Each structure stands twice: as C-alpha cells, then as structure tokens.
C-alpha cells in the first residue's frame, strides 16, 4: 500500500497537487523587463518608481534594476546607480521580538546585466565600534558568529530550494544550497565575487553572482524567490526582508516558503555552462620501517574534474583520477559506546551534491548520525547512501578511477544520479568496485515531497557479492511548524536469501513556545545498505519529546527559557529491552548571546555481549542502571574567548564517569585565531580505571578571504598518537586553487620525544576553465 501511494504521487500530473504555477498572468512594469508568465505569491509587483510592495502578512515583492555597465565591485556603494535607484528597507525582526521592525536600518539593491546578478547592501549601525567581525576565511562557520548579511535566491520559484550567499564586514564570505527548506548543503562551492567596506555609520557589501553559477528554469523574464537576513551580532538581533517564524531561530533563513518575490529580472537564454578543472600534484611520503628510518617515496599525478550543463536545471559532474589530498584530516573521536562512530564527509566531489541524496530523516532537523537530540545517543536512523563508503575501506584510502554525477531539477522533480568506479587496493584488500545511486524526488503540495532511491555496489566488504538497496520516503510540511516524515527501505545481498527491511515514522511540531516530537524506527537484522551507514542493527526504537520554551519579556537580560522531557525506548526485534532513557533538559538563553543548559538522564542499558573500552578493560554483558547530569555553558560569539564548556558526572554502566569538555574559539587578532577542542574522561569500573584525553587545536591565520594557513594538531591518549595537518590554500582566481599540505603522525607511547611514524608533503595546483 505504501509503495502504491508513493508511486502514484510521483507519477501524478502537476495539477493534482497544485504545485505548478497558476494560469499565466502578466504585469506591465513600464519599460523594464516584461514579467514572466507566473503568478506572484505575495504582494503584486511594485509599479515604478516603487522598488518594493509589502502586505499585512509580512510578505514582500521587490524589483531588480537593469544596468548598462557592470558595477565597480569595491563594496563602497559609490556608483551613481545608488543615487538613482532607492534601496529597499523595512526589515522585520525574527529575534528577539518577532514581527517588530528591525532596530538597525538595512537597505538592499538587486541589479543585473547580461552576465550577472549584483546584490548590494548598506547596513547602518548605531554603535559601529561594537560590530563583531572576526572571520575572514571563505566558507568557514565562524562567519555565522559575526555580523553578516545574507541573501537567498529561489531561482525556480518552487518555494523550497535556494542558493544562499553570506558576507561579513571584513570580506569573509560563505555560499551554499538550501534543499527542501530544512536541509542545508554548506559545501557547495560557487564561482562569484564580493567586497565589503566600512563607513562612518556601519558597513556595506557588494556581490557579483554570474548567471553561469546559478540554475534556473529558462531564459528571459524571471520571477524568483528572494530573502535577506541581517545579523547584528552585538545585539544578538536577526532581521529579514520578510517576516519569518522565530521558532526556527538562526535557521529561519532556510524557510524558503516565507521568502519574498523578485521581479523585473531578465536572465540569459540559458544558464548552461561547461567547466573544466584539471589538477597537477606532486608529493613526498614516508613511513617508518623496521630499521627505524623513514622509507620515502616521491611521486606526481594529474587528473581532471568537469561540470557540464545538460539543461538549464540539470548539471553533470565528471571526474577522472580523482584526488582529495587537500582535504583536512578527520577530527579524532573516542568511542565509549558499543556502536559505530560516524565521520562526516569532507571530500569536495561528494559534498557538492549531497543534499539531493538525503533520504528519509537523514537531512534537516531529522539529524544524521553524529548529531544529537536533547538526550541520549546520536541518532540511530540508517543512512541509505553514505559517500564515505566510496574510496575508503577499513580506514585505508582506495583510488577512485573516475565517475559521474547528475543533479538538478527537472520540472517538479529533483534528480540525482551517481556512478563511481574505485580501483583495486592491495593494502585495503579491496577489489575494483562499481557504485551507483539513483534518487528521484517529487514536489507536491506547498512544502511536501515524495521520493524513491536505489543504490548498487558490485562487491561488498563482507564478501556477500553484489548489494542492492532501495526505498521510498515522504515528507509532509503543514502550517508553519509541523513536519511528518516517513520512509521504507529494503536491502539484499547477492549471496543471501533474506531481504532486510527498515522503516520510520516521525512527527515533529517545532513551534517557538511549544514543541513535540514522536518517532518510531525499525531496523531489521538483515538490513545492510552496502554504501550506507548503520550505527546499530536489529532494533526497534520509540522516541517521544515535549518542550515548553517561553520568552519572558519582563526580564531584560533573559531571552528564552526551555524545559524539555523525553523518553527513548529501544528493543531488539524480539521485543527484548536494549536501551531506555528518561531525559530532562533545562535551557536558559540570555540576550547577550550566552546560554546555559542542564541535561539529566536516567539510563537502563542491557548488553547481550561485551564491548571493549581498551585492550585491558571492557564492559561485560548484563543489565545496567545509571544516571548522569551534564552542565553546559555557551559563551557568546562576541567574546574573545567563546565556545561550549561542559562538565558531566554520573554513572557509566557498573561504574562512574566524569567528563570535562571545551570546544571553542580564541581570537588573538582579526587574522589569527585558535579553535581548541578538549575532551577529558575519567572512568572508574569495578574491573579498573580508564582515563582518556583528546586534545586538539586548529590554528588559523587568514591572509585574505581567499587565502589562509591552517594547522590542525590532535593528541589522542587512547591511540597514543600525535597528528599534524598543516594546509595552505590560495584561491588565486575564483574556482582555481593552489595548495600546500603537510601531514605527520607520531607515536606518543615510546619513551622520550614522540616518534615519527608517517610524514607527507603535498603540492597541488588546480585551474578552472569556464566556457
């Protein structure tokens, strides 16, 4: 029945779901680009010389202006066009006072010519000396903790997907994709240019976004969705071009259905483009041999990536002899559970299109493994496609011979297809392997989708021949804050008769004052996605959470309080209890950006087999009851020393555990920062004690927004290792890079100074050609 309903939704004509635009309407815009045949959702287009029209619901429609000559991109807003065309203001607060006018004025403009869209903004500030601007690196998360101005462009006007671009007062910038409103792909890397400048009463920005960087339905007159967000970090205030719900907090920018409308824009006949990006690499690598010396090897290689526009909405990415030498090393983790650890993808080729391949609840607020809810363990929801299964086997890198990916939008369908071949690796004991993924999603209703997905692997790591996985999923968005998600998926190995099954149903009401979540997840014993990720097998999980989070406006220094309770109940598929967690969380969010929370949990864990903490110590089978309390303090990003400080104390199976943790940022100067990561655990069991320390630091020196030097140092007492990853990146032209990378691994268990085990030095050069 489920398969029939989803198949019907995928194949139904658009009119059934009222998803396509209403019958064509045209507006006379008095000599500007003619309006396209789409109905504007929101206020009618403004009549010139008006640049914006608003309604009582917080919606807005603004007009783009054509320019005959490109802007001089310096961020100063001193071109004559700014005197002739009035800026668009009237921003609306989401935080702290939802629906109220912004306390600091913001003006924005959208211009265009035959080649690009130009976005400009003037951000007035009543206390410019308090502007927080400390992050200059491209695509670094630190920009979200700064004052910044963001724009999203919904180029298909589907009210759910968009491109986003951020800029801060010192020129740091960030780009990415919004997928189905709740999913965000921050790893999409665009070719665009931007500048920022300061003036006496604030700061200004200019962006140039080539049409070739964007995808849209067709050339000619356009109607796009658009929204802006202004962050005044010293006030902890967020305001938008249109009214958005405060319940989503900083993520409200992803609510594309609440965006305004952009009219008056005319795009080239096609946004299709061809990009070719060859690379050259030279390296030196050494490994310690029995004699105690390093056995060094020198080499070089080359390869190429290409991007081809198939249609204005579909793009093919091709790769041959793929290389990922410039990727930052993984952040090490200490596993104190009986389940698998999740390491996120960092390789650019796989990151760029990952949003379309999200399945079930693996994107958006239904977080993937590695993220946490209020209490208990990371999410156990399976990931049907996990790209780190390609090119990595048992921790060893496997060469990728080549591959192709097609992603984009085709009418009401989001399409994703991937085919990769990895080479043979004797070190990883991996044969030549083919991987394939096909994803199709259909937009229905206003904020809903249904989809199917299939994966294939020609050789499984377990030696069970070929592996197949396939499934159907659906997400229904109702009103402002209600989401219902579900999926059903099946897997099969060639040399096994059984078919594995997993399914999920999830209800999530995420209001500002109240929240409610309920979930049922089942993973069968034979469920085995060959290029997916499973944290645990053979279980049934029932989860419920309720939240009350008022905003006490009578207390000037307090922004929000929160009380949350949850129940997490997991059994095996025979109904035998495995995990039960009762949780309570108390949150306090202050007006200055700081926050405090207290987590308390009562656990019961039933182990059917033992698991090891170290070579000498483990936890035996049995039933264990234990409680813990965790206190966390989040220092606001406006502080020179910021981040999350946490202390946990309580039970740990048959013993006790204490943890001290800090993940933060120290601003030494605008260009030089240190990001420490500390996790110290002291565990006492009847069988013995086990202490672990994981100490790490990222040291970043920013030369310019497109050039940086970064060192990532990690000490892991459990592994007895000290690792170093130093990277220099210079984006000498948009899309073209020069890298220098140094890696080393030292053994800290030997007497005296840590012994060098491995060492490598890499130089890589890429050049983007755009046609």
pLDDT, tens only, 669-693: 889 999 999 999 999 999 999 999 9
* 343 HSE (CA, 13 A, CB side): 15
Gap between the Cα atoms of 566 and 474, Å rounded:
25
Given this model, what pLDDT does residue 4 score? 42
Average pLDDT for 342-362: 81
For the four alpha carbons of 30, 33, 37 and 39, in that order, the dihedral sign comes to negative
CB 659 within 8 A of CB 675: no
Q: Categorize the per-residue pLDDT at 609 as very low, low, confident or very high, splitting at 50, 70 and 90.
A: very high
Backbone φ, ψ for residue 196 (5° rounding): -130, 155
Given this model, what pLDDT does residue 736 score? 94
Gap between the Cα atoms of 448 and 696, Å rounded:
42
Eight-state DSSP code of residue 82: H
- Please tell me which residue, 600 or 1, carries the higher pLDDT value: 600
Query: Strands (DSSP E) along 233-360, which ranges?
Result: 237-240, 260-267, 274-288, 294-309, 314-322
Pairing of strands 65-66, 106-112: parallel
Q: What angle do CA 622, 623, 627 make, to 5 degrees?
A: 135
pLDDT surpasses 50 at 280: yes
pLDDT surpasses 80 at 768: yes
Q: What is the mean pLDDT of the chain?
A: 89
CA distances in angstroms from 209 to 105, 118, 213, 215, 622, listed in the order given: 24, 6, 7, 12, 60
Average pLDDT for 309-337: 87
* Token pair listed for 697: 């630091």
CB 671 within 8 A of CB 136: yes
Name the percent of the chain lying above pLDDT 90.
68
pLDDT surpasses 60 at 225: yes
Q: Categorize the per-residue pLDDT at 130 as very low, low, confident or very high, splitting at 50, 70 and 90.
A: very high
* Token pair listed for 457: 């692997």
Secondary structure (3-state) at 311: coil
CA distances in angstroms from 679 to 393, 633, 645, 696, listed in the order given: 27, 15, 10, 9
CA nearest to 14, candidates 315, 413, 302, 354: 413
Instruction: State the Cα torsion 355-356-359-362 to the nearest 10°.
Output: 10
Q: Which of 181-195, 348-362, 430-444 has the lowest mean pLDDT?
A: 348-362
Backbone φ, ψ for residue 396 (5° rounding): -100, 140
């Amino acid at each position: 029945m489920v398969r029939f309903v989803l198949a019907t939704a995928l194949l139904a004509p658009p009119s059934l779901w009222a998803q396509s635009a209403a019958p064509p309407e045209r507006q006379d815009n008095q000599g500007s680009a003619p309006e396209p045949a789409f109905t504007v959702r929101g206020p009618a287009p403004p009549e010139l010389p008006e640049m914006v029209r608003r309604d009582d619901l917080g919606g807005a429609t603004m007009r783009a202006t054509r320019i005959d000559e490109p802007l001089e991109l310096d961020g100063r807003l001193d071109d004559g066009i700014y005197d002739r065309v009035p800026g668009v203001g009237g921003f609306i607060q989401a935080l702290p006072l939802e629906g109220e006018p912004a306390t600091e004025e913001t003006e924005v403009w959208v211009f265009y010519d035959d080649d690009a869209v130009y976005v400009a903004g003037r951000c007035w500030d009543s206390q410019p000396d308090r502007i927080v601007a400390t992050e200059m690196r491209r695509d670094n998360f630190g920009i979200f903790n700064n004052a910044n101005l963001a724009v999203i462009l919904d180029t298909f006007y589907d009210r759910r997907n968009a491109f986003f671009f951020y800029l801060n007062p010192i020129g740091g910038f960030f780009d990415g994709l919004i997928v189905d409103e709740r999913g965000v792909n921050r790893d999409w890397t665009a070719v665009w240019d931007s500048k920022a400048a300061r003036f006496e009463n604030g700061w200004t920005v200019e962006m140039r976004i080539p049409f070739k960087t964007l995808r849209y339905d067709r050339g000619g007159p356009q109607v796009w969705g658009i929204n802006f967000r202004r962050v005044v970090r010293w006030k902890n205030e967020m305001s938008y071009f249109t009214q958005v719900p405060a319940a989503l907090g900083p993520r409200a920018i992803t609510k594309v259905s609440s965006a305004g409308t952009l009219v008056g824009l005319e795009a080239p006949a096609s946004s299709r483009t061809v990009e070719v990006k060859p690379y050259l690499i030279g390296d030196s690598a050494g490994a310690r041999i029995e004699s105690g010396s390093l056995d060094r090897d020198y080499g070089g290689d080359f390869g190429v990536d290409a991007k081809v526009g198939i249609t204005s909405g579909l793009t093919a990415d091709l790769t041959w002899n793929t290389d990922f030498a410039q990727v930052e090393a993984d952040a090490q983790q200490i596993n104190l559970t009986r389940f698998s650890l999740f390491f996120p993808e960092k390789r650019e080729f796989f990151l760029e299109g990952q949003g379309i391949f999200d399945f079930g609840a693996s994107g958006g607020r239904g977080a993937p493994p590695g993220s946490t809810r209020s209490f208990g363990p990371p999410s156990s929801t399976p990931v049907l496609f996990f790209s780190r299964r390609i090119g990595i086997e048992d921790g060893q890198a496997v060469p990728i011979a080549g591959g192709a990916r097609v992603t984009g939008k085709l009418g009401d369908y989001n399409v994703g297809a991937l085919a990769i071949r990895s080479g043979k690796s004797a070190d990883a004991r991996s044969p030549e392997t083919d991987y394939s993924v096909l994803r199709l999603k259909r937009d229905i209703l206003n904020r809903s989708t249904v989809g199917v997905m299939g994966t294939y692997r020609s050789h499984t790591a377990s030696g069970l021949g070929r592996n197949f996985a396939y499934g159907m999923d659906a997400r229904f968005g109702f009103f402002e804050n209600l989401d219902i998600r579900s999926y059903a998926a099946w897997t099969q190995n060639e040399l096994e008769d059984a078919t594995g099954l997993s399914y999920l149903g999830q209800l999530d009401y995420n209001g500002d004052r109240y929240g409610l979540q309920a979930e049922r997840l089942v993973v069968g014993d034979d469920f085995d996605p060959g290029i997916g990720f499973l944290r645990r097998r053979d279980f049934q999980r029932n989860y419920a959470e309720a939240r009350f989070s008022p905003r006490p406006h009578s207390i000037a220094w307090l922004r929000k309080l929160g009380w949350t309770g949850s129940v997490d109940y997991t059994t095996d598929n025979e109904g035998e209890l495995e995990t039960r967690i009762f949780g309570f969380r108390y949150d306090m969010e202050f007006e200055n950006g700081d926050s405090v929370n207290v987590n308390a949990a009562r656990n019961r864990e039933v182990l059917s087999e033992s698991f090891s903490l170290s070579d000498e110590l483990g936890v035996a089978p049995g039933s264990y009851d234990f409680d813990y309390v965790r206190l966390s303090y989040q220092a606001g990003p406006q502080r020179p020393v910021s981040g999350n400080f946490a202390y946990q104390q309580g039970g740990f199976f048959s013993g006790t555990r204490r943890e001290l943790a800090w993940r933060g940022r120290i601003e030494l100067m605008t260009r030089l920062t240190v990001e420490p990561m500390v996790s110290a655990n002291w565990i006492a069991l009847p069988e013995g004690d086990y202490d672990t320390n994981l100490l790490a630091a990222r040291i970043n020196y920013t030369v310019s927004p497109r050039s940086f030097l970064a060192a990532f140092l990690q000490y892991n007492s459990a592994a007895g290792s000290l690792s170093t990853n130093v990277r220099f990146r210079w984006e000498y032209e948009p899309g073209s890079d020069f890298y220098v990378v140094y890696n080393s691994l030292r053994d800290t268990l030997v007497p005296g100074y840590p012994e060098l085990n491995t060492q490598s030095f890499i130089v890589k050069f890429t050049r983007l050609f755009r046609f």
